[in-house]
């Protein structure tokens, strides 16, 4: 004799959440933009997405086309698994680039610094204190300027420009005075490179 079994009430109750989820999932994503769902309410406005500040030619700079990244220098896609965590773990040490008005301020500060240090370099005065005095003469307060000996004939410097986060870092040597401007570091205040991060 064959017995027919019926499902008990417990099994039917266990299926209820599955059925509810299936009904809800079937209804998701069916509303099209501009549909009648909010016909009685106020119109929705688009959410503004942050945009990168445009770089432009600064005073005294000739406009150059923006280089397009090649395949060899392109960063890996976010879906690719990282092969080396060095860059990820040391990202706190990578300074922010300057854009827009801040970039122009940085380039102007570099020009002033190079011009002011030129007489020292020609005279062969490669002492941190001499460099500090010249940079302070440009109007940077004592706490804004750091200088240090960099080899026997070189002096390194770091300046926190008045409009922080514009920083100027460089070196004066027999060959030249080189400098770069940047916008500080992630998770760190000031222009000096952090020694630790997360």
Over residues 149-186, the pLDDT tens digits come to 998 889 999 999 977 789 999 999 999 999 999 999 88
- Mapping DSSP onto H, E and C, the string for 2-34 reads CCCCCCCHHHHHHHHHHHHHHHHHHHCCCCCCC
**pLDDT of amino acid 132:** 96
What's the whole-model pTM score? 0.61
The mean pLDDT value of the chain amounts to 74
**pLDDT of amino acid 167:** 94
């Amino acid at each position: 004799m064959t017995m027919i079994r019926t499902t008990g009430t417990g099994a039917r109750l266990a299926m209820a959440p599955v059925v509810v989820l299936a009904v809800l999932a079937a209804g998701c994503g069916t509303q099209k933009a501009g549909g009648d769902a909010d016909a009685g309410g106020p119109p929705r406005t688009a959410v503004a997405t942050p945009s990168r500040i445009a770089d432009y030619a600064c005073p005294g700079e000739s406009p150059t086309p923006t280089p397009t990244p090649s395949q060899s220098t392109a960063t890996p896609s976010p879906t690719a698994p990282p092969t080396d965590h060095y860059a990820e773990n040391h990202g706190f040490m990578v300074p922010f680039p300057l854009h827009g008005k801040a970039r122009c301020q940085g380039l102007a500060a570099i020009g002033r610094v190079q011009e002011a240090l030129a007489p020292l370099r020609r005279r062969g005065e490669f002492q941190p204190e001499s460099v500090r005095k010249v940079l302070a003469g440009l109007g940077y307060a004592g706490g804004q300027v750091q200088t240090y000996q960099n080899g026997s004939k070189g002096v390194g410097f770091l300046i926190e420009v008045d409009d922080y986060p514009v920083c100027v870092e460089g070196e004066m040597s027999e060959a030249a005075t080189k400098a770069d401007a940047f916008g500080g570091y992630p998770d760190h205040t000031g222009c000096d490179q952090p020694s630790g991060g997360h």
